[in-house]
Amino acid sequence: LGYAIHKDYWRQGYATEMIKALIDFCHRNGARKITAPVAQENAGSNTVLKKLNFYIEKEGSFKKRGTDIVYAEYTYRLDLT
């Protein structure tokens, strides 16, 4: 799972609404899990995923594309079975 929302639309429930729809779609189509990598510093996305019952499966890091900037990352997981 990956998403981006323009800053003007943060904190209005759009991410929650989109992810709920994706969870429903995945349930209906036989998916067993959803994973979502998120920068640890991204408080909004971390809050949304926890609210929707995702849990941290692992910690790691990633390099921002085209730069040498490295971010700490959580990989969240939601089991659908």
Alpha carbon of residue 73 to chain centroid: 11
Would the pTM count as exceeding 0.75? yes
Nearest residue to 13 (alpha-carbon basis) of 50, 44, 56, 54 = 44
What is the architecture of the domain spanning 7-79? 3-Layer(aba) Sandwich (3.40)
pLDDT single digits (tens) 48-66: 999 999 999 999 999 988 9
Extents of the domains making up the chain: 7-79
pLDDT single digits (tens) 11-38: 999 999 999 999 999 999 999 999 999 9
